[in-house]
Structure 1
């Protein structure tokens, strides 16, 4: 294998990429706007939820309940009638509708247990789940404070002091931004290498390479380093300018250590992209294979949900996937500031899995060229 051949073939791949506007737009979008929108639109965060209130009691306690809902969790409540409640929810105008019944204040002072009806539009699943708990706590606190005639905390025998490390404000956008960078590294590396190989076959340039004094190893390594370099530079740009600069998400650890892990991840996923491209006969077939492979890898790697919440057999199977170890490494470095002494097992696992995928893809690539 000659380094000059690998370098020149890699430059050819970069020129082909820069002449493809669709892939260039995908790269720019994945490492800029997609990260920003993922950070600002995390579904777990309750923000400006619409709520309407039916005040049939017209009492001091019902007025306290109405004034307890305010931004940023809820929009200012809209006072409606009983007849409007169902129709507004059918039209999707309200996510929550609270009905304070008549004589609620009288029954409360009489020591009875009056009920308040809360209707929730469960089609808005994330807001419905989170907002329902918020509303229950708000109403309960307001009623208790009114009955007890003072605003204060109840006395409990044990006090729990909560310390939230690495994300003191529990800001979901921090997690969304970095998780999207991790996902984009895996997705773009597979797409770019696979598309590069299929593009050569569709344009007929693969036959030109076969008559040149280059080996399959040189062709494959050239695609790996060129496409991997593009994704590596784009991920570094996203971390520095989008995550830290625009979103103001603090990076706890070394970006250089993260990029070392990303390089090993790219070594594995670009090899996987070449293998998928040799199996697929065309770009549409490659896209279908990508869906079958990429979605399980992303869903079960720990990027979206913790691995601990998955069945043990799934956790063990996913240890064979490179992005499982990359997610562990990236979260440890970027969130918790871990160093090399902590993440070296993940680096070693990525190197071993990447080497196996490279050898497997090279064998398939040689058969593909014959």
Structure 2
């Protein structure tokens, strides 16, 4: 063991690392990203869940109850409904996570100690179910009475007066929530990585000279790179769906065609993102580094691992840029709630816009030149 030669190798690696700006940025960027995401962005205490209110009683007591629910911070009234059916439609389309139904005979039910309020919950997210249970703990105070037998009821809660009804996953099985999301996570990881190294691999293997000599335009080359991987993505989607239904009994309540159309949107979004990375990276190792730099925020901020509603607003705005965020809303809405693809049109438009922007940037950055 020659220490001088060993020291020379160490200095050589350090100098090479210093010249590699992407690697240097990853050395500092990954710890900072993880610290910010886990310490600031990720919050398991849900607050401000979009809620629909159907106050069919419309009395002073019912309005006071709604104010008490809002004061907990768990719900944020976003929709005013006139019937429970409207709330169910809002849940199915993903417009709200919770619906509160106050019946017309709320006062009589409250005095009799019967179920007086019903909280409808989108059970496709088990964390939302847990947060909604807090609403069932609210006291339904009765009015003061001169009758001695009822005077003691003031400020007490009748048993089961606020009931929580969970839809789409009443058994709270985690697999029902996780398996549809895994489609997006696996497609994000594989599609971005495959195309992230596509152009770089051609350059490193010496195939770029052959491509330069062909009459292919930049657009034709880029689209030709994308299409084979799109077929691979559909095969992966099929494998996950079959295993999810067979092993975990995950339901597909919506159209199977809509499931595949949503998957195609995510596949194209990830492939175009990977192509953009491929035009920027100088080596396959750099492409893999940049892919990891994209994949980490996607899996943490999209709502797959941690509740989206628990994140600060600034982080939610950042998460809206990520394709996986919109795909999770689509796939869970279609598979678990039976919603149609076009009922979830905001997320469809977001993915289409992402595809167009990324493909345009990738084509504009690519040049059929070795330098």
* 1:143-169 deviation per Cα after TM superposition (whole angstroms, max 9, x unaligned): xxxxxxxxxxxx962314442211121
Q: Distance in 2 between matches of 1:187 and 1:340?
A: 24
SS of the residue aligned with 2:250? coil
Q: Which position in structure 2 is the counterpart of 1:188?
A: 190
SS in structure 2 at match of 1:336: coil
Query: What is the Cα deviation at residue 251 of structure 1?
Result: 1.7
2: CA distance between counterparts of 1:181 and 1:333? 13
Look up the match of 1:228.
Answer: 230
Change (3 A) 1:301 1:367: farther
Judged with a 3 Å threshold, the aligned counterparts in structure 2 of structure 1 residues 368 and 321 are, in CA distance, closer, same or farther, namely: farther
- Residues 151-201 of structure 1: per-residue CA shift (max 9 Å, x gap): xxxx96231444221112111122222221221111111011123322222
8 Å Cα contact 1:189-1:266 kept in structure 2 = yes
1:207 is the counterpart of 2:206: no
After TM superposition, the structure 1 = structure 2 runs for residues 233-244 of structure 1, keeping only pairs within 5 Å, are 233-239=235-241, 241-244=242-245
Matched with 1:339 is 340
Structure 2, unpaired ranges of 5+: 1-43, 45-129, 131-155
Contact 1:253 1:338 in 2 (8 A): yes
- TM-score normalised by L of structure 1: 0.55
| Structure 1 residue 323, shift from structure 2 partner | 1.9
Q: Distance in 1 between the 2:219 and 2:295 partners? A: 25
Say whether the 8 Å CA contact 1:265–1:326 is kept in structure 2. Answer: yes
After superposition, where does 1:114-153 map in structure 2 within 5 Å?
none
Aligned to 2:116: none
Aligned equivalents of 1:333, 1:247: Cα separation in 2: 17
Take 1:276 and 1:364, find their aligned partners in 2: how far apart are those partners?
10
Does residue 276 in structure 1 map to residue 277 in structure 2? yes
The whole-number CA distance in structure 1 between the counterparts of 2:342 and 2:360 is 29
Query: For residue 301 of structure 1, what is the aligned residue in structure 2?
Result: 302
* Partners of 2:212 and 2:368 within 8 A in 1: no
Per the alignment, residue 92 of structure 1 pairs with none
User: Cα distance, 1:350 vs. partner?
Assistant: 0.8
The aligned runs of 1:42-61 (5 Å cut-off) are: none
Aligned with 2:347: secondary structure? helix
Between 218-227 and 259-268, report the one with greater CA deviation: 259-268
User: Residue 367 of structure 2 aligns to a residue in which SS?
Assistant: helix
Alpha-carbon distance, 1:285 to partner: 1.3
Structure 2 distance, partners of 1:172, 1:319, is: 24
Task: Work out whether 1:256 is the aligned partner of 2:267.
Answer: no
TM-score (norm 2): 0.55
Three-state SS of the structure 1 residue aligned to 2:170 is coil
Length, aligned pairs only: 217
Please provide the CA RMSD for this pair. Answer: 2.2
Distance (whole Å) between structure 2 residues aligned to residue 357 and residue 368 of structure 1: 21
Contact persistence 2:266–2:327 (CA under 8 A): yes
Once residues 288 and 258 of structure 2 are traced to their aligned partners in structure 1, the CA distance between those partners, rounded to angstroms, is: 32
Aligned equivalent of 1:163: 165
What SS is found at the alignment partner of 2:366? helix
Distance 1:368 1:167 in 2: 54
Q: SS at 2:336's partner residue?
A: helix
Question: Do the aligned partners of residues 368 and 319 (structure 1) sit closer, same or farther apart at CA in structure 2, a change above 3 Å counting?
Answer: farther
Cα displacement (A) at 1:219:
0.8
2:248 is the counterpart of 1:247? yes
Mapped to 1, the partners of 2:183 and 2:281 lie a distance apart of: 27
Q: Which of the residues 178, 181, 188 maps onto 1:179?
A: 181
2:289 matched residue in structure 1: 288
Contact residue 196 and residue 291 of structure 2 kept, 8 A: no
Distance 1:367 1:306 in 2: 44
Counterpart contact for 1:322–1:354, Cα < 8 Å: no
Contact 1:278 1:368 survives alignment (8 Å)? no
Q: Secondary structure at the match of 1:164?
A: strand
Distance 1:229 1:242 in 2: 19
